[in-house]
A and B are shown apart, each in its own frame.
Chain A
Amino acid sequence: MNTASLPLPGWITFGLIPLINLVLAFFFSGLVVWFIGENPFDALALMLEGALGSGEGIGFTLYFATNFIFTGLSVAVAIHAGLFNIGSEGQAYVGGLGAALVALSLDHYVPWYVTMPFAILGAALFGAGWAFIPAFLQAKRGSHIVITTIMFNFIGAALMVYLLVNVLIVPGKMAPETRTFLEGGQLPKLDWLMALFGLKLGPAPFNVSFLVALVMCVVVWALIWRTKLGYEMRTLGVSPSAAVYAGIPYARTVIIAMLISGGLAGMMALNPVLGSSGRLQVEFVGGAGFVGIAVSLMGRNHPAGIILAAILFGILYQGGDWVSFEMPNITREMIVVIQGLVILFAGALEYMTRPALARLYYSMARKA
């Protein structure tokens, strides 16, 4: 029986299925931990302690989550228009250039709150610009967006290394990075927010970007479900033939959706570049663009779900660091394996359990 088209109630689709996926991921991660001779339950306890056990841990967790919210939103916007943007990684990387250029030119003259709006704009413009070429090729030439955005991740990485090594590097220094921004180019931390809950942030780089990410969640929600542009994007995403019938221009809608998607990815750079390190560094995105795909899938492409999924991945990142620190047997690479398993089950195998659940649900519904 084909179960894909059978509707399931919201609590199964949005609650039970993600939960089962998560449990499965942790189960197999536990097996991995057990194989290398550590106690999986101890590892899990350590992970939660590291991620949520202190103000500093929470600060790091939310810092990582901020990255994933931006990239998750980026992926989600594209998916609503029927486009699979694999290029958030590269768009965020190039977006970092936009953010850094703004910070480098303004930090001498103005305080951070003047720099920030321009940095957001710069990051978004550069990210969107990097998404434009694949978008144009998809819209006008039919070159598949998945392929072109992957290619553009590589091109973007090469471009950034070139710029950092040859152009933006501080003369006389060895490290391929820009100078550290002055105070006017650094975003303040959110220690006051943590203090409201009686927590101390410590050295964690949890900063104003988090609030920007939350605002963007609202903006994306309104865009997708409350604007005519969002309506056109969703129509195209769900039924391209109905979009043609309705006179929704394919090329224009594809390009705009990708520009927004790329812009959101670019904004992610705000968090590490202006919020944490205070300078533009090589490889600062660190895979957040790819995690965004899993976050968006797991969050059902809805901003609220994306926030939750982003925090989960924040826990994995921060807690994972903690585990590898406390349990020397579990190396950094092991943590990457565990994160990979979560991405596998929550992202790639998203609908693995759905047919079985649908059958179970319908057989129980029939009896009831």
Chain B
Amino acid sequence: MSQAPAIELVGIDKKFGAVHANKNINLAVAKGSIHGIIGENGAGKSTLMSILYGFYHADSGEIRVGGTPVTIRDSQAAINAGIGMVHQHFMLVENFTVLENLVLGAEGGMLLAGGVARARAELKRLAKDYGLEVDPDAVIEELPVGLQQRVEILKAMYRGAEILILDEPTGVLTPAEADHLFRILGVLRDQGKTVILITHKLREIMAITDTVSVMRRGEMVATRRTAETTVEELAELMVGRRVLLRVEKGEAKPGDVVLSVRNLTVKDGRGVTMVDNVSFDVRAGEIVGIAGVAGNGQSELLEAISGIRMPASGEILIDGEPIGKADPARLRDLGLAHIPEDRHHMGLVLRFEEYENAILGYHRDPKYGGLFLDLDAIRKDAVEKIEKYDIRPPNPRLRTANFSGGNQQKIVVAREIERDPKLLLIGQPTRGVDIGAIEFIHRRIIDMRDAGKAQLLVSVELDEIRALSDRILVMFAGQIVGEKTADAGEQTLGLMMAGIAA
């Protein structure tokens, strides 16, 4: 290509402590094209885009815009370089009008009137040129989500963006709104703008992009022309062909139904339906895996079953008894244990010492003392778990934040499994965990199954789901779109996860 790429990343590297979020990333996006970046959660997509937009600084590497190296210290510098960003979570002032949001940060003087008049004229032009119609005087919070997103795009365009980055733009959109968005992106491209689309939805990549790059574990593993690739190939690249840590396991011997979920609907804080009329059973002595791309309702499902989030409707039964409005403490008494998806925000209090986290949720147990904490008993208990689960360093007085991710996860796993629950909910058991610990944790989960426990496993790692589950339910857009056995092909599951085939 004779023309310099609109944006070029050369050798971008970024570490967060021990986590290597971006490893030597090279990427060139041609002007006037739509480039997709796909990858699983935690693959490093968002970090890369944050570097591009000045939220983070790369440890090394270079960013070139139109062939010229630029230093992007903050978002203002990114805007000056012609880079605009539409975030997954909108950055709009809810009680301002569209016009007011547009001029925010670009008021152009002490008095608003001039800037507002200019913005109004510019808004008209943008609406005409790109099909970005929106009422300039509408208040943001009264607009539907799709239009709010359009305002975000307008904001970027108003600031003269030549390169538009969209981070998971369709996560909050209905399919119709998503289609409309894609039409707008098409127009932008035809007008010579460059669009970078970050997503984990393969359907969108195929529908709209010209080229696509796949990220996995912080690395850019492949770049393809969209026309020359297939969904199957991308799914494979995304999930990775790494060596499977196959856990030895025999046949499951399912017993009685322990957990029943009936017509469960769960809404998130904004009132969006995340789990949509879901029903299934989990029996003693089996592992039921829920496969799905992150954000398709798995988190909310786990939260509802563990009593953290109240369902909007439907019923959850443990041993045939409806749990009603039981809170997490009550459910623990009923024999439910929960390895939460997010150990940093739920499973652990990072500022606590290790032994304090070893009782989190079970601290009311009389064996840990009555009114007062029985520190001797608690620490003895913690030391036993540390030995049994090989938690390093073996120091119950160490601050939890100072353990590695794998060892932090072992603290949670030890706490929940050692309670010998009858039902174990497992969310992303090995996210951010090193290979050795993964094997260990997988072994424990299989042992639990063989001991006749019912387990519900949620993971975005398809390998993990396939390695551990006896039955696999695939969740897409809040619904269970199908059930497969553990020997279902990776591609079949991948397509179901992408909502393509059921």
Contact = CB atoms under 8 A, between A and B. Distances in A.
- The answer to whether A and B come from one shared complex is yes
Interface of A: 7, 222, 226-229, 231-232, 234-235, 238-239, 241-242, 244-249
Contacts of A245: 306, 308, 328, 338, 340, 346-347, 360-361
A222 B345 CA distance: 27
B327 interface: yes
A247 B359 CA distance: 12
Contacts of B350: 239
Nearest to B402: A7
10 contacts: A228-B364, A234-B349, A234-B352, A238-B349, A239-B350, A242-B349, A246-B328, A246-B360, A247-B332, A247-B361
Nearest to B378: A231
Consensus secondary structure, chain A interface: helix
Given A228-B371, A247-B327, A235 B346 contact: no
Contacts of A7: 399, 401-402
B308 A244 contact: yes
Contacts of A234: 349, 352
B356 interface: yes
Of A7, A226, A229, which is in contact with the most chain B CB atoms at under 10 Å from its CB?
A: A226
Nearest to A1: B57
Contact of B363 (A222, A231, A239, A249): A231
Interface string B341-377: 0100111111110001000110110001111110100
B324 to A, nearest CB: 15
B307 interface: yes
B327 A239 contact: no
Contacts of A238: 349, 351-352
A234 B351 CA distance: 10
Given A226-B375, A231-B356, A244-B346, 13 more contacts: A227-B371, A228-B363, A228-B372, A235-B352, A239-B345, A239-B351, A241-B342, A242-B349, A244-B308, A245-B338, A245-B346, A246-B360, A246-B361
Contacts of B306: 245
Nearest to B362: A246
B330 interface: yes
Contact of A242 (B360, B401, B402): B360
Contacts, number: 72
B377 to A, nearest CB: 12
A249 B306 CA distance: 15
B231 interface: no
Contact of A241 (B346, B352, B363, B372): B346
Contacts of A248: 329
Nearest to B326: A247
A209 B352 CA distance: 34
Nearest to A241: B345
B1 to A, nearest CB: 37
A232 B361 CA distance: 10
B330 A247 contact: yes
Interface in B429-457: none
Contacts of A249: 327, 329
Interface in B295-345: 306-308, 327-332, 338, 340, 342, 345
B266 to A, nearest CB: 15
Interface string B364-404: 10001111110100000000000000000000000101100
A232 B346 CA distance: 14
Nearest to A225: B373
A239 B400 CA distance: 13
Contacts of A247: 307, 327-332, 361
Contacts of B352: 234-235, 238
A9 to B, nearest CB: 13
B74 to A, nearest CB: 13
B64 to A, nearest CB: 25
B328 A244 contact: yes
The 5 closest A-B pairs by CB, nearest first: A247-B329, A247-B328, A246-B361, A245-B346, A241-B345
B62 to A, nearest CB: 20
A235 B349 contact: yes
Of B308, B349, B402, which is in contact with the most chain A CB atoms at under 10 Å from its CB?
A: B349
Nearest to B329: A247
Nearest to A230: B373
Of B328, B330, B332, which is in contact with the most chain A CB atoms at under 10 Å from its CB?
A: B328
Interface string B399-417: 1011000000000000000
Contacts of A242: 345-349, 360
B344 to A, nearest CB: 9
A246 B338 CA distance: 10
Contacts of A231: 356, 363, 373
Nearest to B308: A244
Given A226-B372, A238-B349, A245-B308, A232 B363 contact: yes
Of A231, A235, A238, A244, which is in contact with the most chain B CB atoms at under 10 Å from its CB?
A: A231
Contacts of B399: 7
A239 B349 contact: yes
A237 B51 CA distance: 32
Given A244-B308, A247-B327, A227 B373 contact: yes
A247 B370 CA distance: 17
A241 B327 CA distance: 14
Of B340, B348, B352, which is in contact with the most chain A CB atoms at under 10 Å from its CB?
A: B352
A146 B387 CA distance: 45
B373 A228 contact: yes
